[in-house]
Amino acid sequence: MKKNKVLVFGSKGLVGKSLVNTLTSSEKVENVFSSTREDTDLHSKDQILTTVQNFKPDYIINCAAKVGGIYANNTYRSEFLIDNLKINLNLFDIVKEFKNLSVINLGSSCIYPLNAINPIKEESFLEGKLEPTNSPYAIAKITGIELGREISNQYGNKIINLMPTNLYGPNDNFSEKDSHVIPGLIYRMHKAKLNDQKDFNIWGSGEPLREFMHVDDLASCIEFLINKEIESDLINVGTGEEISIIDLANLIKKIIKFDGEILKDLDMPDGNPRKLLDSGLINKIGWKSKITLEDGIRSTYKWYLNTIS
């Protein structure tokens, strides 16, 4: 089995930290370089080039991105587009100079059209209008996919674009407004419990259906794909299960042991009414998710309590 040197960009984020832990114990990996903003500014091509030249990786795993929940995406639209475009443009411009360098690039399920048929297959890519609240972020990720494809075709690099479903887990951003769904609900509901609030508002109608996956499952998928000879360059990664936002809130209520009533804030946006990925391709290749939603949220909440204590 080939032992690889793996360079992880974005190693301090939600995915990056989980991935580095997974790769450190992998038999496929000789060495992992955990790159951060302190050693490499991904807005600088020169710094990316220096890091690649110094480490000489076999694989780059690109976990770096400016990310946030529906409120952040819809509020800081310019920043989400500019920052993520810069990362993709600079990174892939350097990658093409190293023909034996492989890349696993992380995208997002938001690249798919608003009205894509669920479960969403990879073939839905570029087949329709994007969901408007996070279209800038989606466009930046779409650019990364197209760059990867054309560089692979023209220069020969092996590039896989993974489209994970909604992720959660330890080291996520737990805040009032800038978080994704699960860490945002955990943060606000835990605060409501401490304050003995009689009710708790979820954003929107609670009716949209979402698929959620623990970040450790994604890390295991990335590790699984190292050394694999795969023809597809765009692969969905999800659990195949979905839950409504109101049911998710009630599940978190049970785990946190919050006694108040769940109310709906209809002034806040719902986003896409349904988004479930078809993960049949990655399942056929040989990988499946293992962590149930309830187990994953329980372990995440435990981590959160230990972190804030």
Which of 59, 71, 137, 304 is an active site residue?
137
For residue 167, the cross-strand partners are: 213
190's CB contacts (< 8 A; 6+ apart) are: 256, 258, 301, 304, 305
Most distant CA pair in the chain, distance = 60
The continuous run of DSSP H or E covering 197 comes out as none
What sign does the CA torsion over 80, 18, 21, 24 have? negative
- Tell me the C-alpha distance between 270 and 134, whole Å: 12
Quick one: angle between helices 181-194 and 293-308, nearest 10?
Answer: 60
Q: How many residues does the chain have?
A: 309
Catalytic status, residue 137: yes
Sheet architecture: strand order including 102-106: 29-35, 4-9, 59-62, 102-106, 159-164, 234-237
What sign does the CA torsion over 89, 91, 92, 96 have? positive
Cα 293 to Cα 199, 209, 223, 248: the distances in Å are 24, 14, 21, 9
Which residues are designated catalytic? Answer: 137
